[in-house]
Amino acid sequence: MADTHIPHPDLPPPVSIVGPIGWLRRHLLSSPLNIALTLLALCLLYIAIPPLLGWTVLNATWSGDSRDACQANSGACWVFIRVHFDQFMYGFYPDGQRWRVDLTALLLIFSAAPLFIRTVSSQTKLRIGLSILAIYPIIAFILLTGGWFGLAIVETSQWGGLLLTLVIAGVGMTAALPLGVLLALGRRSRLPAIQTLCVTFIEFWRGVPLITVLFMSSVMLPLFLPAGMSFDKLLRALIGVSLFQAAYMAEVVRGGLQAIPKGQFEAAAALGLGFWKMMGLIVLPQALKLVIPGIVNTFIALFKDTSLVLIIGLFDLLNMVHNATTNPAWLGFSTEGYVFAAAVYWLFCFGMSRYSQSLEKRLHTGHKR
Amino acid sequence: MTDHAPAKPPFWNNPQVRAVTFQVIALIVTVAFGLYIFANTQVNLQRLGIASGFDFLSSPAGFDIIQSLVPYSATSSYGQVFWVALFNTLLVAALGVILATLLGFVIGVARLSKNWLIARLALIYVETFRNIPLLLQIFFWYFAVLRAMPAPRLSYSLGDVAFLNIRGLYLPAPQVEPGFGWVLAAFGIAAILATLLAGWARRRQAATGQQFPVVSAALALLLGLPLLTFWLAGSPLHWQIPELQGFNFRGGWVAIPEMASLLLALTIYTAAFIAEIVRAGIQAVSHGQTEASFSLGMSSGKTLRLIILPQALRVIIPPLTNQYLNLIKNSSLAAAIGYPDLVSSFAGTVLNQTGQAIECIAITMAVYLTISLLISLLMNLYNRRAALVER
């Protein structure tokens, strides 16, 4: 009887291929060029990180109430932000009424929270979403402007800061999406007159810069209206922003419509569905799902574009910050102000883009080509 | 069509009748809306005593412009303001497009680098700058950086030829002397020769299969011939270096801080978007293409130039054009920091001085619309040529 063959136990893989060392060799040191690039990157980091860290954290001043507190340290003066924080959030909203803004924000957060919980069924989500769309704007409008239920009236000229930025972005998004869908359907329509109207509208708004649209809405809209009828400055900006973004949204939605195979339209027609039922039940649900990343990108662009309203004299977050940096008592802290504003905008935009990525992954049903 | 059709549907369910009705209604509503606005505008203009028409373009402007590429003074007309403003817009847009493309391609390729650190740094760049509003970036560069520069006497200097201070960036300016025309002529001749050479090389390769190093030969021609002429003509060019005289620098070429900050912000912001487009374009070319090219014995340089880039460009160019259009439109944010571009000088100052709101805004919008439509048209032509022809 021959001895049974007992193989040697497997040797562990060489240290140079797996583990941290292997990772370093593969990703940072695989070739002379790669080594040079690593050195370059380290060099960049060495130049950038210590001064940045020193300015923002280590040498920064965090406590105090006046600019004198910042004299001792060479870094950022975050006191500037602390002192102006309420202004940056609420603008010129009267002090005693600011709870209304907080309440409006909390209401939205709590009512919209179920939409972000995965265990809630999509049916419930749809119902919640639609009721938020129908009811919330009315509540928010009453809370913010006042005039009912004994709430003091707050003119829109007193709105400002992040509040105004979010109002413009929110209204712009809710107006631009349905308008964009209608325009996209019109552009794909077989009726020549409707199609021409929609194409002209879309191409016009997409061809001009938003700033000229805002100029137009602030200097030309009053000329278009009958004498005696005048629009609030904020409302004029809202109209301009909504129409502008609707044109961009229309192009995004059109991309989705074009990606739906013809068979879907024909099948819907064969089942006897009319135009609106075909679009609402068969085509749009598929098309909109396809273009979620595009829609969110448009929302992000809209959010960033809200900063342009400072050109027509509205005090959004950026304008409030800019205003505070020109305050004679606080001259010389513009860097801190802009860095703070940039951080706020960045958080919102980055959050939206991450959410869209996760949504895209979740809705991915394997039909993507 | 049969004579014995089954029960005819009522006429309001007839698709053709419906189509006509809807279109007629849409047209009537649009026209009525337009007429309503037109009538209101007429009444309002009369009430406010604003004359309409473009006569104001020939009256003197009476204000100065801090940067003009064409001769301009305060006595020039509003029509000339338009040209100055248009050229300023085009200048910043053209420089922005070139710089953003260069930076964007570098960052986009860095995003795909095998080097983990470089790829991460590029990712951080993209995620940071595309999520911050452009206007905020312009403000940052203008108010926080360039407006905080020292006075001319305390300028930062680079080797005593370039200076940076609160008045702007001063660079040496090339001064052309007589005889420089010969150098230009030599460059023209070199360009013609290079084109002929490329044609000859292509025909030779088609006929014999032999390759000729066209790129290096053309480069040698394009650089060598003008340089040789330059040397023979006795170096007909010198650099005028800016000098501190009194309170300010004189001579040299100056980039005013408004232009510098606008250009910086436009470049950095747009480059972040271009980088993502370039990355997506390169990733869209499947890896099999690279492998196939290697198995045919092509070098990695040739693979990149002949196999990957032509296919990647097909994906890259349409969104890239969109970014160029965005950059041109975004250059209108100049109005916020007072760079004398079309929106700031024409739709701003001229409008405020003359009160001709409709005319000024209409001209401004028409210019941007023309640029947009023109570029889209070129884009569509290119697309038709480059589109994948499926067989």
Residue A346 parent element (H or E): helix A334-363
pLDDT digits (tens, 9 = 90+) for A294-309: 888 889 999 999 999 8
Cα dist from B268 to A209, A219, B220, whole Å: 19, 32, 33
Min Cα–Cα distance to chain A from B210, Å: 32
pLDDT of residue A368: 46
A97 touching chain B per CB within 8 A = no
Contacting residues for B137 by C-beta, under 8 A, at least 6 apart:
A342, B129, B265, B268, B269
pLDDT digits (tens, 9 = 90+) for B333-369: 988 888 888 888 888 888 878 877 888 888 889 999 9
Count Cβ–Cβ pairs < 8 Å, chain A vs chain B. 148
pLDDT of residue B167: 79
Q: How confident is the model at residue A1 (pLDDT cuts 50, 70, 90)?
A: low
Mean pLDDT across B185-193: 89
Nearest Cα residue to B152 out of B173, B166, B171, B142: B166
pLDDT of residue B101: 93
pLDDT of residue B266: 93
Question: Do the Cβ atoms of A311 and B335 come within 8 Å?
Answer: yes
Amino acid letter for position B159: G
Question: Do the Cβ atoms of B26 and A197 come within 8 Å?
Answer: yes
Highest mean pLDDT range out of B130-134, B246-250, B387-391?
Answer: B130-134
Mean pLDDT across B205-209: 86
Residue numbers in B near A308 (CB within 8 A): 135, 333
Residue of chain B whose Cα is closest to the Cα of A207? B369
Question: Do the Cβ atoms of A37 and B117 come within 8 Å?
Answer: yes
Mean pLDDT across B259-284: 91
A207 touching chain B per CB within 8 A = yes
A192 touching chain B per CB within 8 A = yes
Nearest Cα residue to B284 out of B311, B317, B318: B311
Q: How confident is the model at residue B124 (pLDDT cuts 50, 70, 90)?
A: very high
Q: What percent of chain A has pLDDT over 70?
A: 98
Contact (CB, 8 A) for A341 and A318 = yes
Mutate to test the interface with B, among A31, A162, A194, A208 (most CBs of B within 10 A): A208
pLDDT of residue A364: 66
**Residues 265..304 of B with a Cβ closer than 8 Å to A: which?**
none
Superfamily of segment(s) A79-93+154-363: MetI-like (1.10.3720.10)
Residue numbers in B near A222 (CB within 8 A): 44
Which contacts qualify for B294-299: CB closer than 8 Å, 24 or more apart?
none
pLDDT of residue B4: 64
pLDDT digits (tens, 9 = 90+) for B233-261: 777 777 777 777 777 777 777 788 888 89
Q: How confident is the model at residue B390 (pLDDT cuts 50, 70, 90)?
A: low
Mean pLDDT across B307-314: 86
pLDDT of residue A29: 80
pLDDT digits (tens, 9 = 90+) for A4-55: 888 888 888 887 777 888 888 888 887 888 888 889 989 989 988 888 888 8
Residue B117 has pLDDT above 80, yes or no: yes
pLDDT of residue A369: 40
Question: Do the Cβ atoms of B23 and A211 come within 8 Å?
Answer: no
Q: What percent of chain B has pLDDT over 70?
A: 96
Q: What residue spans define the domains of chain A?
A: 19-58, 79-93+154-363
Residue of chain B whose Cα is closest to the Cα of A351? B131
B148 touching chain A per CB within 8 A = yes
Highest mean pLDDT range out of A3-17, A78-92, A148-162, A176-190?
Answer: A176-190
Residue A126 has pLDDT above 60, yes or no: yes
How far is C-alpha A288 from the chain's CA centre? 18
Residue numbers in A near B144 (CB within 8 A): 334-335, 338
- Exposure string for B16-40, b = 16+ CB within 10 A, e = fewer: eeebeeebeebeeeeeeeeeebeeb
pLDDT of residue A365: 62
Question: Do the Cβ atoms of A211 and B343 come within 8 Å?
Answer: yes
Mutate to test the interface with A, among B118, B137, B337, B344 (most CBs of A within 10 A): B118
Comparing A314-323, B13-22, B278-287, which segment has the lowest mean pLDDT?
A: B13-22
End-to-end CA, chain B: 39
Question: Do the Cβ atoms of B357 and A220 come within 8 Å?
Answer: yes
* pLDDT higher at A68 or B330: B330
Min Cα–Cα distance to chain A from B240, Å: 33
DSSP structure string for B57-105: GGSB-----S--SS---TTSBHHHHHHHHHHHHHHHHHHHHHHHHHHHH
Mean pLDDT across B135-157: 83
pLDDT digits (tens, 9 = 90+) for B76-101: 788 888 888 899 899 999 999 999 99
pLDDT digits (tens, 9 = 90+) for A222-256: 788 777 777 788 888 898 899 999 999 998 898 88
Residue B1 has pLDDT above 70, yes or no: no
Highest mean pLDDT range out of A259-268, B9-18, B157-166?
Answer: A259-268
Question: Do the Cβ atoms of B117 and A28 come within 8 Å?
Answer: yes
What is the ipTM score, two decimals?
0.86
**Residues 10..29 of A with a Cβ closer than 8 Å to B: which?**
27-28
A38 touching chain B per CB within 8 A = yes
pLDDT of residue B53: 74
